[in-house]
Structure 1
Amino acid sequence: MSGLEAALSEASSPSWTQRVRAGRHLASFADVPEAAEVLVRLLLDVEDTAVTRQTAEALARVGTVAAVRLIALAVAEADDNRADWMGTGLYDAIVGPDGVPDVAAACGKLAGDPEEAVRRGAADIAAWAHGTGC
């Protein structure tokens, strides 16, 4: 079983720690459709906000347009509590000791996305990133 296949399988685990591990691992595969679908599901994890927070942080650390797009999609679907935890994960990545790529720049590229939910979510993320001094 490949690392991608193992992480996809782990994402369905009843264990929140395994789902967190899957989110961290899958973040680097944000541009792979099978992984993207699972990552959005992890961002919206209904059982544990740690999964939401740490998956958002991992995607923000990747910082590609594809990775930030997944956060934007999830933000557009999330209730206020889940959105807050995604914002916290984003904050953790931006102000962490290693910093992250320019998330605001990725959001700028997503402002023209054909999907309205992505544009709306990207606007929220850009506001969060701006609020952290990014």
Structure 2
Amino acid sequence: MASFDMDQELTSVVKDADSPSWSVRAAAGRRLAASPELADVSEVLHRLLLDTQDAGVTQETARALLERADTPGLRAVLAALACAASAGTADQLGGELDWNPHWMTKDGTNRLTQQLRQLAADDDAGVRSEAEQILKSLR
């Protein structure tokens, strides 16, 4: 029964990701970012990170992914940054990366550096490039 509830919840959140309301889309981004398996919802998260209608959706989704403080969350943001079509979206994603409070400590910076080194060898050329650029700026 729990699996059915999880499937039903996921279906509801994915539907919310297409809402005309920016706040509903942003909430969907936050909920999807909390998913234990980001790969299962990566396409929807990617679309929300690149939301063309409201920067708030991009901001909330990116923050939620980065709050995970893990490599999959960081990877999702870097993948979106690599293909952001508008300068505004790229700036929003870059700002979330630059001002993430998890990376403001020595331990956080070390964790970020380790994650970026791992992502610098990613299969996706865009993710690799973004990871390499950030690593260069940290040196």
Shorter-chain TM-score: which interval?
0.7 to 0.9
Residues 1:63 and 1:96: Cα distance change in structure 2 (over 3 Å): closer
Partner in structure 1 of residue 75 of structure 2 = 69
Distance 1:96 1:17 in 2: 27
Equivalent position of 2:118 in the other structure: 109
Q: Where does the alignment leave 5 or more consecutive residues of structure 1 unmatched?
A: none
Alignment check: 8 A CA contact 1:53 1:88 kept: no
Where structure 2 has 5 or more consecutive residues not aligned to the other structure, the ranges are: none
After superposition, the C-alpha distances for 1:14-53 in whole angstroms (9 at most, x for unaligned) are: 1100111111111122734341111111110000011111
Q: 1:49 to 1:118 in 2, by over 3 A?
A: same
User: How does the TM-score come out when normalised to structure 1?
Assistant: 0.79
Correspondence for 1:4 = 10
CA-to-partner distance for each residue in 1:50-106, whole Å, 9 max, x for gaps?
Answer: 111111111111122111111111111013221110122234532699xx9533332
The answer to which structure, 1 or 2, has the higher relative contact order (CA under 8 A, 6+ apart) is 1
Q: Which entry has the higher C-alpha Rg, 1 or 2?
A: 2
Match for residue 89 of structure 1?
Answer: 96
Q: Given the two structures, how large is their TM-score scaled by the length of structure 2?
A: 0.77
RMSD after superposition: 2.7
In 2, Cα distance between equivalents of 1:96 and 1:104: 9
1:56 matched to which residue of 2? 62
